[in-house]
Amino acid sequence: MTTTQTPSSSASLTVTHVLAELLERLELSAEPVGPEQYLSVVNHLVEAFGDVGYGVELGALLDTHPAAAELYENINYQYAGLCRSPLETSLSAERQARQVIERAMRQPNQPNQPNKGVTDGQS
């Protein structure tokens, strides 16, 4: 009788860390990377994320590996949206957009005025 052993959480996190490192190297590579190689790393990292429960260790890994964090966020989007994106940045951009729209709505419509000092070629 054979039994299948599941990897320990520590081993799974180690594998996830190695794959996250590799993905960062591929992302930052000055040399072209083959699509098959890139896809293989991404697919293995997605599987590794499935073996590791979210916790402090995974959070720390994602904080230091932006490409892996983006992948993690994308595969978990259906559950938590952009859970790892900085909320303050998004809120600040939304506030700025609202202010610009409000200012534009308060300004009276101004008719098109010809540019001063520009001639149309007629004398």
DSSP 10-59: HHHHHHHHHHHHHHHHHHH-SS---HHHHHHHHHHHHHHHHHS--SHHHH
Express each pLDDT in 79-119 by its tens digit: 665 555 556 666 777 888 899 998 888 887 765 555 555 55
First-to-last CA distance in the chain? 101
Q: What is the pLDDT of residue 39?
A: 96
Q: What is the pLDDT of residue 10?
A: 75
Q: Is the pLDDT of residue 28 over 90?
A: yes
Q: What is the pLDDT of residue 74?
A: 85
The length of the chain is 123
Is this structure's pTM higher than 0.75?
no
Q: Sketch the domain layout of the chain as residue ranges.
A: 9-82
Question: Is-contact 17 61, C-beta < 8 A?
Answer: yes
The CA distance from 35 to 41, in Å, is 10
Q: What is the pLDDT of residue 44?
A: 97
Express each pLDDT in 41-84 by its tens digit: 999 999 999 898 878 899 899 999 999 999 998 888 776 655 55
Q: What is the pLDDT of residue 83?
A: 59
